[in-house]
Structure 1
């Protein structure tokens, strides 16, 4: 049935727009940008900054800079994880 297919396609389009509006707008215009999962500009910038801080800490033999660089590099690695799921909702601890 043609009506059912149109309805299904409309639901898929609405879901894509809800999940990643920038990708959906680009797709509608005929020039889609990569989906959100493949946009890792912030992760690369953070990794670059982390390595700069780590290198500076090693050069100056400053422990706090070394630790900061290592923590930032770990955060950048977490952002680069391809299987990283959406953020989970925080559940408050049960009241006693």
Structure 2
């Protein structure tokens, strides 16, 4: 027995509420906010700190500071990847 369109919309709204509450609530209030996938300010801060640590490590000639800067920069680049969710593994299709 196929689902009605109303049931599908309710299911979609509930799933959106679970995944990104801030976005769902802002839509219902009429003032949309960016979805979670497009909020990357924290990743930019981590990248800035990592590059600063890397440059400071090169200037001071400290291997530990260089390594920490490289690790933080790598983490930030992973956070900035727009297709991060697609590369985790096989995508599961929702049940019909």
Report the TM-score range of the alignment, normalised by the length of the smaller protein. Answer: 0.7 to 0.9
In 1, Cα distance between equivalents of 2:9 and 2:71: 44
Deviation at 1:55, TM superposition (A): 1.1
User: SS in structure 1 opposite 2:84?
Assistant: coil
Aligned to 1:72: 72
Aligned to 1:36: 36
Could you state the TM-score of these two structures normalised by the residue count of structure 1?
0.81
In 1, Cα distance between equivalents of 2:16 and 2:32: 12
In 2, Cα distance between equivalents of 1:39 and 1:82: 11
In 2, Cα distance between equivalents of 1:34 and 1:85: 17
Deviations 1:12-69 (A, max 9, x none): 1111111111100001011111111111111101001001111111111111111110
In 2, Cα distance between equivalents of 1:68 and 1:10: 46
In 2, Cα distance between equivalents of 1:61 and 1:5: 64
Aligned to 1:55: 55
Shift >4 Å, 4+ stretches: none
Number of aligned residue pairs: give it: 85
Could you state the TM-score of these two structures normalised by the residue count of structure 2?
0.81
